C-alpha cells in the first residue's frame, strides 16, 4: 500500500483545500492528513486563524479523502511522522515549493499546484468570506507581499495588475496567480486591493479601487498631498470601505510595545525623539534616478516620521528640512526637524549616506533606545540616570513583517472598524502633508539650481505652521 501524508492549517475550509486533499489522495492508496494546532501556527508565524482545531479536523474528515487524521504540534514532527507511518509520498501545495526538499532523502516529495481562483462561496453562509486580494504593482515590495499574505488566514492572493503585460505575466507566473492588464477585469475578480505601484500613481489607483467598492491597503507614502489624503479617507468612509496606509513598523508587536512603554510614564515626559533610517542603494535604482519622486525622503521618510507623530501628535509648530543632494539634484540624506509645544524631534533618512540608524526617545526620568533596525523593533532598552538600571524588552518580528499589517487590515474589514489606532487617518494625513511640503521645497530648489550643473550640496528650508 502506497502511503501519502500532507499537512495544513485548513482554516476557513474552502475549495482550494478540498482540491488539494483530493489530489493528495489520488497520489496513493492511504492518505494521512496532519492538522496544525493553534500553538504551532503561532510559532511559525501563521496569523489570524479563526476556526478552532476540532472544527478544522471535522472539515477535513467531511471531505472523505483522509484515511487518518493526526495533529501537527512542532516543526520537527514531519520527519518523525514519515518514519513512524512508513510514508512513501510527502505532499503539500506549490506555495511551499523547495521548502521541504530536505525530506527527499526519506520519501518522495510532491508539490501540488495551488488553486489560483479561490471562491469563498462555501464560507459566505457563515458570513466569513475569504478576502481575495488583488495586487497593483510588480516590484520588490509586491514580491515580498505574496508569501507574507499566505501566512494570514482569511485572505487569498488572487491576481496582479500591471499595465505592462510582460511584467504582469512574469509576476503571476512566479506566484501562481492570475495576470491582468485591464483594470475593470481586475477589480471584478478581487475583493480588496493592495497597491504597490510608484508613489505618484497611488492616488489614481486608490480612487479607482474605492469607486469599485474595494477595500484598499496602500504602500507608503500613500499619497503626496494633504488634500488627496483627506479626500480619499472621506470617500472611503462615506462608502463604508477601509483605506489603510502600509507602514509595516506601525503594526509590528515590538513597536507597539515600545510605544506603550514610552507613554507609560516610566521615562517621564517625552522631550526629544530622534529617528534615523539609512541604507546605501545602487545609483541606478528608481529611488535615486526618478527626478521628481525619487530621493531618500519620499522612500524612507514615512518610517522616521512615524514615531514622532505617534509620540507627539500631528500639531507641530515648526518644520525644517536640511538636505544633502547628489549630482542629479535628488536628496541623498535628509533631516526633518520638528518643534512641538513641549518637545523637539528629528527624523533622518538617507540612501546615499550611511548613519547610525537608531530610535532614541528622551524623557525627564530616563530614555529609550532601539538600535537599528528599530523599524523592525525586536529589542529595545529603557535606561536611567543610574547607569546600572537598565530594563530590556524584546518581541518577535517574523519574516518581512508585512503579515502584521495584512492581519490588521483584515480585522478592520471583518469587524467594520471605523478607526485604526496603530496608524490613524489623521496621522496618514499628516504624513501626506509633510511629504507635500518637502516636495514643494524640492521643486523650488530645482528651479533655483536651473541649468548651472548639479553638484552635491547642502541646503536648508524652514517652514512654519501645519
Judged on CB neighbours under 10 Å (0-12, 13-18, 19+), 276 is buried
For CA atoms 431, 402, 134, 177, the dihedral sign is positive
pLDDT tens per residue across span 14-48: 888 999 999 999 999 999 999 999 888 888 888 88
pTM, two decimal places: 0.82
Task: Examine the domain organization and report whether 91 and 229 are in the same domain.
Answer: no
Average confidence score pLDDT of the chain: 90
The per-residue pLDDT for 419 is 61
Boundary-marking domain end, from 112, 145, 175: 112
The per-residue pLDDT for 125 is 41
Boundary-marking domain end, from 112, 140, 174: 112
* Mean pLDDT within 219-229: 97
Confidence check: pLDDT of 321 > 50: yes
Task: Examine the domain organization and report whether 326 and 339 are in the same domain.
Answer: yes
The per-residue pLDDT for 286 is 87
**pLDDT bracket for residue 394 (50, 70, 90):** very high
Task: Examine the domain organization and report whether 233 and 342 are in the same domain.
Answer: no
Contact 312, 340 (CB under 8 A): yes
Supply the range of the domain harboring residue 428: 250-464
Please identify which residue in the block is written with the cell numbers 548651472.
452
Share of the chain above pLDDT 70, in %: 91
Contact 205, 195 (CB under 8 A): yes
- Measure the CA–CA gap between 369 and 362, rounded to whole angstroms: 9
What's the structural domain count of the chain?
Answer: 3
Q: Find the helix packing angle between 226-238 and 425-449, rounded to 10°.
A: 150
And the C-alpha cell for 79? 520527519
The per-residue pLDDT for 358 is 96
* Mean pLDDT within 84-102: 93
**pLDDT bracket for residue 417 (50, 70, 90):** low
- Measure the CA–CA gap between 228 and 429, rounded to whole angstroms: 9
* Mean pLDDT within 105-129: 69
Boundary-marking domain end, from 44, 79, 112: 112
pLDDT tens per residue across span 164-180: 999 999 999 999 999 99
pLDDT tens per residue across span 260-313: 999 999 999 999 999 999 999 888 888 898 888 999 999 999 999 999 999 999
- Measure the CA–CA gap between 140 and 151, rounded to whole angstroms: 18
Amino acid at each position: 500500500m502506497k502511503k501519502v501524508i500532507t499537512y495544513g492549517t485548513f482554516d476557513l475550509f474552502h475549495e482550494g483545500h478540498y482540491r488539494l486533499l483530493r489530489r493528495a489522495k489520488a497520489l496513493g492508496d492511504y492518505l494521512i492528513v496532519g492538522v496544525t494546532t493553534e500553538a504551532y501556527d503561532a510559532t511559525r508565524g501563521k496569523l489570524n486563524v479563526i476556526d478552532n482545531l476540532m472544527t478544522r479536523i471535522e472539515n477535513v474528515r467531511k471531505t472523505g479523502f483522509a484515511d487518518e487524521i493526526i495533529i501537527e504540534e512542532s516543526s520537527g514532527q514531519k520527519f518523525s511522522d514519515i518514519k513512524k507511518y512508513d510514508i512513501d509520498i510527502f505532499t503539500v501545495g506549490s506555495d511551499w515549493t523547495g521548502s521541504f526538499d530536505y525530506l527527499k532523502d526519506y520519501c518522495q516529495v510532491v508539490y501540488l499546484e495551488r488553486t489560483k481562483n479561490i471562491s469563498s462561496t462555501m464560507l459566505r453562509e457563515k458570513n466569513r468570506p475569504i478576502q481575495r486580494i488583488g495586487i497593483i504593482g510588480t516590484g520588490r515590495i509586491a514580491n515580498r507581499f505574496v508569501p507574507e499574505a499566505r501566512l494570514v488566514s482569511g485572505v487569498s492572493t488572487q491576481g496582479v495588475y500591471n499595465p505592462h503585460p510582460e511584467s504582469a505575466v512574469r509576476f503571476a507566473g512566479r506566484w501562481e496567480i492570475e495576470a491582468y492588464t485591464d483594470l475593470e477585469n481586475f477589480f471584478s475578480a478581487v475583493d480588496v486591493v493592495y497597491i504597490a505601484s510608484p508613489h505618484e500613481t497611488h492616488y489614481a489607483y486608490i480612487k479607482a479601487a474605492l469607486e469599485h467598492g474595494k477595500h484598499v491597503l496602500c504602500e507608503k507614502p500613500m499619497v503626496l498631498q494633504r488634500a488627496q489624503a483627506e479626500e480619499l479617507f472621506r470617500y472611503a468612509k462615506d462608502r463604508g470601505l477601509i483605506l489603510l496606509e502600509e507602514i509595516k513598523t506601525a503594526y509590528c508587536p515590538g513597536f507597539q510595545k515600545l510605544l506603550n512603554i514610552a507613554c507609560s510614564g516610566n521615562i517621564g515626559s517625552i522631550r526629544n525623539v530622534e529617528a534615523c533610517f539609512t541604507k546605501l542603494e545602487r545609483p541606478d535604482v528608481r529611488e535615486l534616478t526618478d527626478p521628481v519622486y525619487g530621493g531618500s525622503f519620499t522612500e524612507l521618510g514615512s518610517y522616521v516620521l512615524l514615531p514622532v507623530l505617534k509620540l507627539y501628535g500631528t500639531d507641530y509648530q515648526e518644520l525644517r528640512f536640511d538636505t544633502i543632494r547628489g549630482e542629479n539634484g535628488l536628496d541623498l540624506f535628509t533631516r526633518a526637524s520638528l518643534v512641538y509645544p513641549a518637545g523637539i524631534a528629528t527624523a533622518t533618512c538617507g540612501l546615499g549616506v550611511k548613519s547610525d540608524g537608531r530610535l532614541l526617545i528622551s524623557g525627564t526620568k530616563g530614555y529609550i533606545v532601539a538600535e537599528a533596525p528599530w523599524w523592525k523593533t525586536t529589542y529595545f532598552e529603557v535606561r536611567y540616570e543610574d547607569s546600572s538600571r537598565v530594563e530590556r524588552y524584546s518581541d518577535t518580528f517574523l519574516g518581512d513583517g508585512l503579515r502584521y499589517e495584512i492581519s490588521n487590515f483584515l480585522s478592520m474589514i471583518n469587524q467594520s472598524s471605523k478607526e485604526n489606532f496603530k496608524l490613524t487617518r489623521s496621522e496618514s494625513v499628516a504624513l501626506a502633508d509633510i511629504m507635500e511640503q518637502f516636495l514643494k521645497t524640492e521643486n523650488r530648489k530645482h528651479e533655483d539650481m536651473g541649468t548651472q550643473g548639479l553638484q552635491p550640496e547642502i541646503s536648508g528650508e524652514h517652514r512654519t505652521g501645519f
